[in-house]
Structure 1
Amino acid sequence: MAVNASEEQLTVDFHPDPDRLVAHTAFLADDLLEGREAGTPGHERASLYIATEFRKLGLQPAGTDGYLQRIDFRRSRLKTDSLRAVLNTPGEERELTFLDDYYVGASLVRTASSLDCEMVFVGYGIVAQPLDYDDYQGVDVQDKCVVAFKGKPAWFPSEQGAHFSKLKVKNAADRGAIGFISLTTPESLERFPFEKYRERVGRARMTWLYDDGSLFNAKPRIQSSITPSPAVAASLFVATEKDLDDLYAMLETEERFVPFPIPGRLQLEKGSQHEAVTSPNVVALLEGSDPVLKHEYVVFSAHSDAIGMKQGEAGEDLIINGALDNASGIATMLEVARLFSGMEVAPRRSVVFAAMTAEEKGLLGAYYFAEHPTVPVQSMVANVNLDMPILLYEFADIIAFGAGHSDMGGTVSRAAAAESLELTPDPWPEQGYFTRSDHYAFVKQGIPAVFVKGGIKARDPSVDALEVDKDFRKHHYHQVSDDMRLPIKWDAAVTFTRVNARIALELANQPSRPRWNDGDFFGETFARETAAE
C-alpha cells in the first residue's frame, strides 16, 4: 500500500502493463461469463473477479458487504404470446403485428397492462423551462396516450436537449397520460433502424427497489410505451391537418409544434413476468495521504455488466461478450488502481474505484450508488468514468464528454498534452453522450464528471479513425463480435490508461475541489438542487 504523501508530490510517471490489460479484458470477455448480464451468474463471476483484484492490491473494502454493494432488482420479461394491439383510425380497424408494426418492452410496474386510449400529438413531448419550451402548453392529456417524436428540437443545445429528452415519459405521466407512443424520425432511423428492435426480443428490463418496495424511475400511471413502425406512424395522421411528412419537414426548423388530437383509439394488451434478483456494485477505496483532503473522494468508475446472450439457434454464437463494452473499461480501472496503490506517495484525496452493475439497463448501478453512497455524497468531488473505449487504432486525440462544464476541462487538457494528444470537441453532439453513461448519475448529484474516449484522429495517417469508430458501432456494438477476436491495439489501451490516470491524479492532488463553470446549466440545475435538499 502507498504511504503518506508530502504536499509537494503532485505528479508521477505511469507505466501501465499491457499484459495485465489483456488478461483482465480476456477474462471478463470470456464465454465463461456468458455476457455478464446484470443479475446472472456470469456477472456474479465478474464481480467476484473484480473484488479479488481489489483485495490483491490492498485496497480497502468500500461496499456494504466487503467490496460488494448488493442491490435488489426487479427483472421483467415481456410475454410475447400475451400481446394484442389494435389501431382504430377513421374508417379502419387494424390489428397490429408485434415487430412488424410495433415494438413494446416489458412492464416493470405490472404483470398485466391494458390500454384503450384516445391519442394526442405533443411534438417532442418535452418541457424545458430554461429554454422557454413546453410541448404540453394548452393541451389536456388526462387518461390519453401522448404521441411524440424521438429526439429534441434541432435548435436545442445538444446536452441540455439530451437531458430534457430523458424526461419525456415523466412529463406525460405528470400530466395524467396513460400511454406513450414514441415516433421514430428520419434521424433516429438512421442511427437505429426499426428492424433492429428485433434484437431486443427476450432481453429483460430491470430497475432497483427502494427500502419501502417502490421502484426507481417507475411511472406507474403509464400502462405502456409503444414504438410504431414508420408505416403505422404515418397511418396515425391520415385524417389530421398535417400528415407525417409535413411534421417531418418541421423537424429541422425552429417552428414549434402545436398539439392536436389524433382521431381514433389505440388498444394494447401485454403481459410481463416479474422476478426478484440481486446484482452488486463492487467498490474499493484507496485512502488519501493528506490528513484533511483524504476525507474528500475522487470516484473512478466503469460498468462491469454487458448485454448477456441473444436469442438464437443451438450451435450459433449467442454470447455478447462485451470486450470493448466494457471489459476494457474495467481492465483500465483495475490497472489505474494498481498504479495508484503502488505509488510511493498516495494521492492527497482518497480515490474510490467503483465497478457499476446494470449500466446496460439504464445506468442503474450508478444511480443506486449515487443515491446510496458508501462515502458521503457531499465529499465526492469528481467522477472519472470509463465506458467502451474503442481501442482499435492508436488515437492521436481524445474526446472528453463533460469537460466543458467545469474546470476539469483544464485537467483533461493538461493530461492530454502530457501524452502528446489533442483534445477534440464532441464530434457527435446529436448523440447526447454526456447523458448516456454512468457519470451522469454523479452529475445529477451535483458532482462534476468527465467521460473520456479515444478521438477521431489516428497516429497512423493511413487509418481513418472515424470510419473505424463507425464500423465498430454498426457491426460490433452490442453484438456477439465484440470479443477478443477484435484487432484491439493494446498500445492504445496503455495510452488510454495513462491519460485517465493523469486526470484522476491531478483531481486527487489539486488544492481545491473541481468547480462547475459559472452559468453552466448542469452546475446550476443540480448543484443548486442538491444544495437545497
Structure 2
Amino acid sequence: MWHEIPCRCRVICNFAPHPKQFAVKKITWLLPMVVSTLFVNAQRKTDRKTLTNLQMHIAYLSSDKLEGRRTGAPGEKLAADYISEQMRQIGLSPKGTADFLQSFTVKEGLEPAASCNFELNHKLLEAGTHYIPLPFTATKSAKGEVLPQANEPDNIWLINVADIDSTKYKSRLELYRKETATAAQSGATAVIFYNGGESSDLINSWLVQTAAGAIPAIWVDKDISKVLDDENANSFLIQLHTELKPVKRTGINVIGYIDNNAEHTIIVGAHYDHLGFGEDNNGLTKGHVLYHGANDNASGIAAMLEIARQLKASKLRHNNYLFVAFSGNEQGLSGSKYLAANSPVDLSTVNYMINLDMIGRLNPANGIQIAGVGTSPTWTQLLNGAVKDTKVVYNTSGIGPSDHTAFYRKNIPVLFFCTDREDFHQPGDVADKINYEGTLTVMKVVYDLIDKADNLQKLAFSATPDTLSGVTK
C-alpha cells in the first residue's frame, strides 16, 4: 500500500499537461462564462437605457404642458409632434398622409355653445351631462314656475316621454321633433323631455346641422328625470337658455414604418389621447380637473416606441413593421377605425396586430392580462414560450373597447396587452405611480413574441365570441 502512492504520483505526473496546454484548456473552459457575463452586462445596460427612455416618454406625455392630450386639443398636437419626432430619431419611415401624421374627423356637427344655461330650482346643471339641447332647439331663453303634469300656454312644458306612444313615429328623433312642434303651436315657451331612456351618446349623434325650431328643446338624463318625475314635487323654478354652435373636431394618428421588403407586415399600436380636463364628461371626477393619463396610455406609447427602437436595430427581417399611435380612443375608438378603413398598407398582407393599452401598473399578484388569444390557433404556443416568470391572465376574445377591435373586424389576428387599471379615468393617473420595471417586463414579452413568430408563416385567423371580461377599459 505504501508503494502505491508514489506509483500514482508518477502516473499523474506522466500525464500532466504542459503549462501552456493547461492554460489553453482553462481559457476554453472559462470562455462560456465570460461570454455569458458579457451578455448579461450588455442586457443590463440595454435595460437601463430602455427604462430611462420609458420614464422620459411617460413624464413628457403625462405632463401638465400637454393638458391631458384630449383629441383635437392643442395638447394632442404637442403629443403627436413628440411621437413623430421620436419615430424620426429611431429611423422609422413616415407612413401618414402628411409625413408621420394622418388626420381624421372625430365629429362634425353641433354642440352646446358656452352661453347654454339651465337652472333647476336655482341649481346650475351641466350641459352635455345633465342635459343636451336637441338639434332643432331655438337660440332663445325661457323661465317660469312649472307645475308637474300641468303644461300651460306661455310657460315651459315638461313632457314625460314614457307616456308617449312611440309607435306613431318612425324614429325617436322624429318623436322629439314633432312633440316639440306640437308644444310650440300650443303656446309652450320651451319644452323639456324627461324619462326618454336614450343614452347621451345617441342624443349627441343627432347634433348635426339642421334648421332651428321655434322654442328651446332640451333632453335630460335619468338623474334629472328622477327629479322631474317626483310625485311629491310642488313646482319647479326653471331658467334656461339654449344655443348650439357648429363644430368640426379632428384627431391625428401618428404612423411610422420599418420596410424590410417582406411579404407581410406586423402592426404594433397604442393610443396616445386621453381626457384633457374632462370636457367630454368621460372622467370619473366631477368638475374641471386635469387627467394626466400616464398609464392610460402614455405607458403603451412609451413601450411601443422602445419596441420600435429595438426592432429597427434587430436582425428580424421576415416582416415589415407598422407602428401606430392612435388618437380618438376616448372618442369611440375613432382613430383606429379610421386607420383600418384608410390603412397605409394593404390589410390583406398584415400578419397580426398587437395593441398596448394601460401596461404601466403591473402588479405581480394580478399579472399581465392578454386578450385575443383565440384570434389565431398559433397564439397559445407562442405565448407559452414568450412569457416567463410572470403571471398571465388570458382571454380569447378579439373584441373589446380598445384599438385592436378594428383590426379583428378585418379578420386580422390580434393581441391586447394591459395590466392593472388603478386610477382609471382619474386625475391620479400620474407618472410617479408607473411601475417602470413592470412596463419593461411587458415590453420583453411582446418583443420575445415577435421574435419567436419571425420565421413562421402568416398567422391564421380565428373568429372568437364577442365578449371580453376582466381586462377591458
Whether TM exceeds 0.5 here: the answer is yes
Q: Is residue 483 of structure 1 aligned with residue 452 of structure 2?
A: no
> In 1, distance between residues paired with 2:269 and 2:224?
38
Query: Structure 1 31/512 Cα, relative in aligned 2: closer, same or farther at 3 Å?
Result: same
* Cα drift, residue 234 of structure 1: 10
The one of 374, 382, 392 aligned to 1:423: 392
Higher relative contact order (CA 8 A, sep 6+): 1
Equivalent residue in structure 2 for 1:404, among 374, 381, 386: 374
Using a 3 Å threshold, how does the CA distance of structure 1 residues 380 and 139 change in structure 2: closer, same or farther?
A: farther
User: What corresponds to 1:438 in structure 2?
Assistant: 403
The structure with the largest helix share of the pair is 2
Asked if the contact 1:411–1:507 (Cα under 8 Å) also holds between the matched residues in 2, the reply is no
1:231 offset after TM fit, Å? 6.7
Selected match of 1:299 from 233, 258, 267: 267
2:438 corresponds to which residue? 492
Q: Which amino acid aligns with 2:318?
A: R
CA 1:336–1:78: 2 relative to 1, 3 Å: same
Aligned residue for 1:227? 221
* Pairing partner for 1:24 from 46, 57, 63: 57
357-366 or 388-397, which moves further after superposition? Answer: 388-397
Amino acid at match of 1:142: K
Equivalent AA in structure 1 for residue 260 of structure 2: G
Residue number in structure 1 paired with 2:80: 47
CA root-mean-square deviation = 4.5
Which deviations, in whole Å up to 9, do the C-alpha atoms of 1:174-219 show, x marking residues without a partner? xxxx9994479xxxxxxxxxxxx9xxxxxxx9xxxxxxxxx9x878
Q: Indicate if the aligned counterparts of 1:350 and 1:508 stay in contact, CA closer than 8 A.
A: no
Within the candidate set 79, 98, 103, 2:130 is matched to: 103
Counterpart position of 1:366: 336
* 5+ long unaligned stretches in structure 2: 1-42, 141-156, 176-192, 211-216, 232-239, 280-286, 468-473
1:414 aligns to what?
384
1:73 deviates by 4.3
> What amino acid is the match of 1:68?
L
Contact map agreement 1:78 1:272 (CA 8 A) in 2:
yes
> Alignment partner for residue 324 of structure 1, among 272, 295, 306?
295
1:367 match: secondary structure:
helix
Q: Which amino acid aligns with 2:390?
A: L
Structure 1: runs of 5 or more not aligned: 1-12, 87-93, 122-137, 148-177, 185-196, 198-204, 206-214, 239-267, 456-468, 524-533
Q: 1:66 to 1:415 in 2, by over 3 A?
A: farther
Change (3 A) 1:483 1:285: same
List aligned pairs for 1:60-79, cutoff 5 A.
Answer: 60-74=93-107, 77-79=111-113
Q: CA 1:140 to 1:480, structure 2 compared with 1: closer, same or farther past 3 Å?
A: same
What SS is found at the alignment partner of 2:247? strand
> Equivalences for 1:242-391 in 2 at 5 Å?
271-288=243-260, 294-310=262-278, 318-343=289-314, 345-391=315-361
Between 489-498 and 443-452, report the one with greater CA deviation: 443-452
Aligned pair count reads: 364
Instruction: Give distance in 2, aligned partners of 1:24 and 1:309.
Output: 21
TM-score when normalising by structure 2: 0.64
| CA apart distance, 1:338 | 0.7
Shift of 1:416: 4.9
**The structure with more radius of gyration:** 2
For the residue of structure 1 that corresponds to 2:52, the secondary structure is helix
* Residue 514 (structure 1) aligned with residue 456 (structure 2): no
| Identity in percent | 22
Distance across 2 between alignment mates of 1:514 and 1:395: 33
Distance 1:110 1:322, change over 3 A: farther
Instruction: Report the Cα offset of residue 402 of structure 1.
Output: 2.1
Please state whether the residue corresponding to 1:340 is helix, strand or coil.
Answer: helix
Given the superposition, is the C-alpha separation of residues 50 and 28 from structure 1 closer, same or farther in structure 2, using an over 3 Å criterion?
A: same
Instruction: Report the Cα distance in structure 2 between the residues aligned to 1:504 and 1:495, rounded to whole angstroms.
Output: 14
* C-alpha distance in 1 between matches for 2:219 and 2:347: 34
Once residues 78 and 402 of structure 1 are traced to their aligned partners in structure 2, the CA distance between those partners, rounded to angstroms, is: 39
Aligned AA (1:484): A
Cα distance in structure 1, aligned partners of 2:126 and 2:302: 37
SS of 1:27's equivalent? helix
- Tell me, what secondary structure is at the counterpart of 2:221? strand
Query: What is the letter of the counterpart of residue 244 of structure 2?
Result: S
Rounded Cα–Cα distance in structure 2 between residues aligned with 1:37 and 1:101: 16
What's the TM-score, normalizing by structure 1? Answer: 0.57
Shift of 1:515: 1.4
Distance 1:362 1:503 in 2: 29
SS of alignment partner, residue 346 of structure 1: coil
